[in-house]
Amino acid sequence: MADEANSGESSAPVRYDLVVIGGGPAGYGAALYAGAAGMKVALVERDRLGGTCLHRGCIPAKELLETAAVWRTVGQAAEFGVNTEPPELDFSVSQGRKQRIVDGLEAGVSGLLRRRKVTVYEGTGRLGADRSVLVRNGESETQTLHGDHVLLAAGSVPITLPGFDRDGTLVMTSDEVLALDEIPSRVAVIGGGAIGCEFASMLADLGAEVTVLEYAPQIIPGVDGDISKALNRAFAKRGIAVRTGCQVTGHSPVDGGGTTVRYTTVASARSDAEMAELEVDAVVVSVGRRPYPDHLGLDDTGVTLDERGFVVADEMCRTTMAGVYAVGDLINTPQLAHVGFAEAIVAVKDILGEDPAPVDYPNVPWAIYCHPEVAFTGLSEAAAREAGYDVVSSKHRYSGNSRAMIVNDTEGLVKIVAERDADGTAGRVLGVHMMGPWVTEQLGQGYLAVNWEATVSEVAALVQPHPTLSELFGETMMALTGRGLHG
């Protein structure tokens, strides 16, 4: 992978305008953006270019979810008059396709870096004094780099739970799920966030009996409560059991295979807890990710970590060490690849003295690729009220949308939250929350409306093409003006 070989220990450091440690989306995004600005850039990566997102996260997960989507489509083909034999799943073919996509994208990133004249070093980067970076590849080969600026983008790793030591077969994290050879028959997914719901959906579609155990009162924290409830109902129709307000306490392997998961359920009106058990063939622990500064050597630098292990950084992604920046999962911001890209651009622009606008974290777009899909940006109705807004909202369901009927996927709704003006009419758009067919591809106009602080009347005046799924966004917005067409 390295464009410049490491041959023994180097006494004179190689100097760069920017040295990036970490080759995931935030890291390679910073390197590409800096390279496009004419900076001399080095990128240090200890594993593979693309990071978790490309190899053990976003991309492989979505490929397997697409396999599940194809399975569902074939299963309902007869409703369109297309008669087929009962489908059979060869999961190894899907895994092979996933790997080809991942490898192709990695090659694409590598090619982009070469064209931007970014020097890639294969090895573990360790931050030293005066923005030096020691790159170690193997036991003895080292190379010292020096950056006028250094950007840390070492990413994150899955969080594990006490009593659930992962073995890759009985207890898995996202890393192992994405490498499965076959689908377990019964699965407990611990965690009902974005990743947990995606895995639950994929595994259920491909034949597993799935139970989601979530500690919080609702699945998909951050999304509007109406969307979360609708997803609960949609999951239930597909046989996915969702149990919220649960705290897992451990598990006991069963002779002959499988394990019994123990958890407590706490009623909202009582302080007592009820113990329950669930027998499954595999457990997927999906309770989030922690920052991974472990190999950066930050103890001997001026870079500060908070109590949870995140690198402390300001709105320009500057750390507490002069000239050193941190982006992506390493800092305490939404752990999303597109947020990492955005932070990389902010950091490089700040280095260039271009006075960038900081990332507006409360309004970043979220996309969850379970079935039905979930997408949202901005405040939920409850969060808007808690923030002191006088709120008005509107929601419409896909069941009456012509395009949804055509594609035979009518489960879901669009909900728009707006501020009520003094005259009682709907004013600024505060949040857009969606569940249904391809909402991850539809959220763009909602994100623009929220982030440009558009008013309901301004957005409602825009023409939506017909027949499309996106018409429902326009219809919901128009309803807030008091003059909707279809509802």
- Other beta carbons within 10 angstroms of residue 168's beta carbon come to 12
Under a CB-based contact definition with an 8 Å cutoff, are residues 416 and 477 in contact? Answer: yes
Q: Which residue has the tokens 């996106």?
A: 470
Integer-rounded Cα radius of gyration of the chain: 24
Angle formed at CA 157 by CA 155 and CA 161, multiple of 5 degrees: 150
State the pairing for strand pair 426-436/324-326.
Answer: unpaired
Catalytic residue among 295, 371, 466, 486: 466
HEC states along 89-158?
CCHHHHHHHHHHHHHHHHHHHHHHHHHCCCEEEECEEEECHHHEEEEEECCCEEEEEEEEEEEECCCEEE
Distance, CA of 279 to CA of 90 (rounded, Å): 26
Active-site residue 466, yes or no? Answer: yes
Distance, CA of 357 to CA of 160 (rounded, Å): 35
Burial of 446 (0-12, 13-18, 19+ CB in 10 A): buried
Under a CB-based contact definition with an 8 Å cutoff, are residues 72 and 66 in contact? Answer: no
Distance, CA of 434 to CA of 43 (rounded, Å): 38
State the pairing for strand pair 324-326/171-172.
Answer: unpaired
DSSP output for 416-430: EEEEEPTTSSEEEEE
Give counts: helices (H), strands (E), the chain: 13, 22
Q: Which residues are catalytic?
A: 466
